Structure 1
Amino acid sequence: MRKKLVVVLALLCVLAFCMAPAAATTSSDQTTKKTGMTVTPIVGDVMWPKGSNSGTVTQGETKTYSYTVPAGSTTLSVKVVWGTTASNLGLIVQTPNSIGYGEFDDATDGSTNGSLALQFQDNPLQSGQWLFFVRGKSVTGSQSFTITIVSS
């Protein structure tokens, strides 16, 4: 009897362990609801700062950028521009407490035009170092891009 109980408990532990990643992996919509964060495409003009970072990715390659959001900020805007519809880049955004949003791509903002602009809003946003992962989602050869990030 005791041996059967140990086997049943072991199976339950294995089952719980297998289900944990599925519960932790959520879509951006589910994460948005859970954390209170609102993520929306930016349509129209935004006052982007003059400074931006540039990079190049190949198919499946990922480049990482970071940005420190100051305490009290309520809006974070990010724009990735690669300028051609022949390639598609993906963007994943990770908060300082490791909650991931995305993978967003060219069509996320409703227009396939070689760029992506998103706004993250919360009152307040989590302050600290945010990470931005730009991935070559559909690239032949290599694709250059710029990424601009601003908070307020």
Structure 2
Amino acid sequence: MAELLAAVGKNVVLMSALTAWFLAQVLKTLTSYWKHRRFRAERLVGAGGMPSSHTSLVVGLASAVALHDGVTSALFAVSIVLAGIVMYDAAGVRRAAGKQAKVINKLVREMRVEHTIKETRLKELLGHTPLEVMAGAFLGFFVAFLFHRFF
């Protein structure tokens, strides 16, 4: 088992992607603290926020594959398509779902005043703004570049 973990730890492509994701989660927690002036542990693993950790992960992966195998490799093609889908989902579908959750939460609050309705709070912070996605993409590329250059 130790040999397997050591071998995985030497995989520069995987380590680039995972490091980009981890750094994005830490940065997300710090930007949330700066914005709200309180520590929210949920930000270490939760969706939404600045920068997009999903984007950092897939752009870090695609960039590391491009630097390791070249942009003409089949693996790069797969990873760049995956990155495109994830980034579209983060800024499009999940962001729209978060906006809908906000409206539904408001309706539930208003209905509780007039009628008896069970309070069910939907998660509103699901997606990302285009800036959050771009920041995640930059972080992912930067981490992959550093791994390629120094490891």
TM-score interval (norm. to shorter) = under 0.3
Q: Which structure has the highest helix share of the two?
A: 2
Could you tell me the TM-score, scaled by structure 2's length?
A: 0.20
Higher strand share: 1
